[in-house]
Amino acid sequence: MRTNVVLDGELVREAFRLTGARTKRELIDMALRELVRVRRKKDLTELAGRIRLRKDFDHKALRALRHGSR
């Protein structure tokens, strides 16, 4: 999709510095993808009270399995 926009020059320079993008097209694509990724994330506070763990769930045992029983 082709469009013309006026961008804040200082903001664009900072974004280039932070991202390493080489073109404005690449920079805007990165920015849009990041915006979509962040907005798609569920706010964990929305899940409060909706998740029930099994009574026998042992988070410490699970952690030990993942980290090789330290």
Among the ranges given (2-6, 22-26, 63-67), the one the predictor scored with the smallest mean pLDDT: 63-67
Q: The pTM is what?
A: 0.59
Tell whether the model's pLDDT for residue 7 goes beyond 90: yes
What are 10-48's pLDDT values in tens digits?
999 999 999 999 999 999 999 999 999 888 887 777 777
In angstroms, how far is the first alpha carbon of the chain from the final one? 53
Q: How far apart are CA 25 and CA 23, in angstroms?
A: 5
Q: Where do the structural domains in the chain lie, given as residue ranges?
A: 1-44
User: Can you give the pLDDT at residue 61?
Assistant: 85
Tell whether the model's pLDDT for residue 63 goes beyond 90: no
SS3 52: coil
